[in-house]
Structure 1
Amino acid sequence: MSKNELVRLIEKKRSELIQIASTNGLTSSAAIRYSQELDHLLNTYNRKYTQTSKTY
Structure 2
Amino acid sequence: MGIEVGGLLGLIWLIIVIWAVVKVAKSSAGPIAKLLWILILLIFPVVGLVIWLLLGPKG
TM range (shorter): 0.3 to 0.5
Q: TM-score, normalised by structure 1?
A: 0.46
- The answer to which structure has the higher helix fraction is 2
Asked which structure has the greater RCO (Cα within 8 Å, sep 6+), the reply is 1
